[in-house]
Amino acid sequence: MNLLYSKSFIKAASKLTGKYKISLQKKIKEVKAAASVEELTDCKKLKNFNNAYRIRIGDYRAFFILTIVDNTVNLEYLISRGDAYNKEYTKNLRAKDKGKE
């Protein structure tokens, strides 16, 4: 699959250290090598969204929008588990999901 990264994802990823940085690198390699979302481990489709998914990376959650036409993953957010389902992030993710229909 092809990958695109948002500014907020890149900023959050650059702040990671140690085992989380290594886990993120492994997960990105896994996403690139996967032919479909079903092949990804710890990946779930978000309820009430069209093309939004989350990947569990230790205590962090990576949210992405899948564009099915060109099999592209748009990595939007990398957030700690406690903040992952915050209304602000959910609202922004929903707006981006609507644009990808």
Q: What is the pLDDT of residues 71-97, one digit of tens each?
A: 888 898 899 888 887 888 888 888 888
- pLDDT per residue as tens digits for the range 8-57: 999 999 999 889 999 999 999 999 998 888 888 889 999 888 889 999 99
At residue 67, does pLDDT exceed 90? no
Q: What is the pLDDT of residue 100?
A: 57
| pLDDT (0 to 100) of residue 66 | 84
Domain boundaries defined on the chain: 2-99
Which CATH fold would you assign to the domain 2-99?
YaeB-like fold (3.30.2310)
pTM, full prediction: 0.83
Identify the burial level of 60 via C-beta atoms within 10 angstroms of its C-beta, where 0-12 means exposed, 13-18 middle and 19 or more buried.
Answer: buried
Provide CB contacts within 8 A for 98, sequence distance 6+.
50
